[in-house]
């Protein structure tokens, strides 16, 4: 019987080791995804060009992986060394340097690359041909993954408890065969240790879910209301290359980006009264959109008669449904970011040029903004707005520093956004 006990203990130890190893692998996979979303997703996609290049196959484009590590941690230093790939990327993207991530270790970068090559590649393939209703695909995939990890954890915990119970029964049988008197095993549902462990797990799980739910209160990520007129940014900003600032001029000059008035739309649609050459448009429920009928709605709001080619009735404002809305105690200035900060619209709004009806791409939380300020580098050169920061200009000139983040010029101070 002692031999059986030793065999069982070895099998049990092997099972525990395997379970812990599997959980470690899952955790590393999650870390790669979390690091990608935290460090990379604001400028890069897996299979699409955003502010920076697509990251699919990035390892194949660098013949020296050590240089790739250095590039991620300090792109400016690699460019100064004259490494060909670094210089080519720097030139291709208008000499805008990548954010510095000196805190990332080799294993952190490997985790990100692993996510790009495995889970990230699958996610990119899934979203390569979006259909109506796909705006929440990323969050749905993440939710499904979390559910899978939770189920696996519960199954492993249940198996471990069963094995512990089996071990207890085998010990009792062994003791009885050797004439050793042992106490009757306590049933699982009456074992205080098991009850305490389950209670603690439920308490911690409930607390985590409660915290996550409370943290998300008031956020509207992926919010996508139906608008009175179907306005496709894919057609206007994407296919026809209409500059964002033509319609949202306030983004360059004032606090608010502003919604264009009806007459701005009519500047073009006095002459464009049919939608005949663009791709078929779809709503989020999969129903087709008649582009010409949507233009007719615009005419009804503006009072324009396309047959008579003149305004025949009093215009009225289009009641667009607001999507992006910060709390009243938060100050955000579009001109500060677009004109002074030289930020692209896609930094906060995602690939707006590929959206049908617009949805909120970022959660716009305080943590999201602070992380951006910590990582985003200020473009000091040829930018008169930052001419007052003489010390930083001198340090850059003397190569004491190679970049200045928004955080260094007070971008994380409370009174910058709250006053």
The whole-number pLDDT of residue 296 equals 95
DSSP output for 130-175: --TT-TTHHHHHHHHHHHHHHHHHHHHHHHHHHHHHHHHHHHHHHH
The whole-number pLDDT of residue 134 equals 43
Predicted confidence (pLDDT) per residue in 166-219, tens digit: 887 787 777 778 777 766 667 767 878 878 988 998 999 899 888 877 877 778
Q: Above pLDDT 90, what percent of the chain?
A: 32
Predicted confidence (pLDDT) per residue in 358-390, tens digit: 999 998 989 899 999 998 888 887 788 888 888
> Residue 253: is its pLDDT beyond 80?
yes
Strands, DSSP E only, in 150-250? none
Average pLDDT rounded to a whole number, residues 287-301: 95
DSSP state of 60: G
Orientation angle between helical segments 106-117 and 119-126, nearest 10 degrees:
40
pTM: 0.55
Average pLDDT rounded to a whole number, residues 27-48: 74
The whole-number pLDDT of residue 8 equals 54
CB neighbourhood size of 123 (10 A): 21
**pLDDT confidence tier of residue 414, bands split at 50, 70 and 90:** very high
Give the separation between CA 318 and CA 296, rounded to whole angstroms: 13
The whole-number pLDDT of residue 120 equals 59
pLDDT averaged over the chain? 82
Determine phi and psi for 119, rounding to 5 degrees.
-65, -40
Write out the H or E segment, with its range, that includes residue 87.
Answer: helix 84-92
In 3D, which of 93, 66, 78 has the Cα closest to residue 402?
Answer: 78
> Residue 228: is its pLDDT beyond 80?
yes
Give the separation between CA 361 and CA 363, rounded to whole angstroms: 7
172, two tokens = 């009792």
Parallel, antiparallel or unpaired: strands 288-289 and 310-311: unpaired
Residue reference for tokens 């060394």:
81
């Amino acid at each position: 019987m002692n031999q059986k006990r030793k065999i069982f203990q070895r099998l049990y130890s092997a099972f525990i080791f395997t379970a812990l190893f599997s959980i470690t692998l899952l955790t590393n996979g999650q870390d790669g995804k979390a690091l990608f979303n935290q460090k990379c997703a604001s400028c890069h996609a897996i299979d699409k060009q955003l502010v920076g290049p697509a990251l699919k196959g990035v390892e194949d484009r660098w013949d020296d992986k050590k240089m790739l590590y250095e590039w991620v941690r300090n792109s400016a230093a690699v460019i100064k060394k004259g490494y060909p790939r670094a210089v080519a990327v720097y030139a291709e993207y208008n000499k805008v340097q990548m954010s510095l991530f000196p805190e990332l270790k080799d294993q952190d970068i490997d985790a990100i690359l692993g996510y790009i090559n495995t889970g990230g590649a699958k996610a990119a393939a899934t979203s390569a041909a979006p259909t109506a209703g796909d705006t929440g695909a990323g969050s749905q995939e993440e939710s499904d993954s979390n559910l899978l990890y939770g189920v696996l954890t519960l199954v492993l915990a249940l198996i471990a408890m069963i094995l512990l119970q089996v071990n207890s029964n085998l010990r009792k049988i062994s003791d009885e065969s050797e004439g050793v008197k042992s106490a009757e095993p306590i049933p699982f549902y009456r074992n205080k240790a098991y009850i305490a462990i389950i209670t603690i797990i439920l308490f911690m799980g409930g607390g985590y879910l409660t915290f996550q739910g409370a943290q998300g209160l008031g956020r509207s990520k992926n919010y996508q209301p139906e608008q009175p007129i179907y306005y496709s940014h894919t057609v206007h900003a994407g296919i026809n290359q209409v500059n964002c600032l033509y319609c949202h001029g306030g983004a360059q000059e004032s606090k608010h980006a502003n919604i264009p008035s009806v007459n701005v739309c009519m500047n073009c649609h006095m002459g464009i009264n049919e939608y005949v050459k663009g791709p078929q448009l779809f709503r989020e429920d999969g129903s087709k959109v008649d582009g010409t009928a949507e233009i007719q709605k615009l005419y009804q709001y503006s009072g324009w008669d396309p047959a008579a080619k003149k305004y025949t009735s009093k215009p009225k404002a289009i009641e667009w449904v607001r999507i992006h809305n910060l709390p009243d105690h938060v100050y955000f200035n579009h001109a500060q970011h677009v004109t002074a900060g030289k930020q692209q619209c896609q930094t906060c709004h995602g690939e707006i040029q590929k959206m049908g009806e617009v949805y909120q791409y970022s959660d716009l939380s305080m943590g999201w903004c602070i992380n951006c300020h910590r990582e985003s580098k200020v473009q000091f050169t040829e930018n008169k707005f930052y001419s007052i920061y003489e010390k930083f200009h001198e340090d850059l000139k003397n190569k004491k520093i190679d970049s200045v983040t928004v955080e260094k010029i007070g971008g994380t101070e409370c009174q910058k956004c709250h006053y």
